[in-house]
Amino acid sequence: MNTISLFRKIAVAEGISYILLVFIAMPLKYWADLPLAVKYTGWAHGVLFMLYIVLLIMAWLEYKWSFKRAALFGFASLIPFAPFWVDKQLKEDK
């Protein structure tokens, strides 16, 4: 498995975990008094986010992406649903 395909898989997983954290776990914490939802979902999201950043840097160096592209993909990890756009962009590059 090459760096790009692994990065794409992690981007999708990170995007899903972010959506679950923001739209399900956080409301459960504050509206249903279930803080464990955030604890576990947040932990999983944190691990996936770190993997996303590491793989982003690896892909940036390996494929000699421009700083602009790497920064845009990095910024995308901070916006819900944007990691799916990253996956789409990388899929179109094939």
pLDDT digits (tens, 9 = 90+) for 57-85: 999 999 999 999 999 999 999 999 999 99
- State phi, psi for 18 to the nearest 5 degrees: -65, -45
d(CA 49, CA 62): 20
pLDDT surpasses 90 at 26:
yes
Provide the pLDDT for residue 79.
94
Nearest to 12 by CA among 93, 94, 85: 85
- In this structure, are residues 29 and 8 in contact, taking their beta carbons and an 8 Å threshold? no
Query: The whole model's pTM is what?
Result: 0.92
pLDDT at 93: 86
Structure confidence at residue 83 (pLDDT)? 96
Q: Number of C-alpha atoms within 13 angstroms, CB side, residue 32?
A: 10
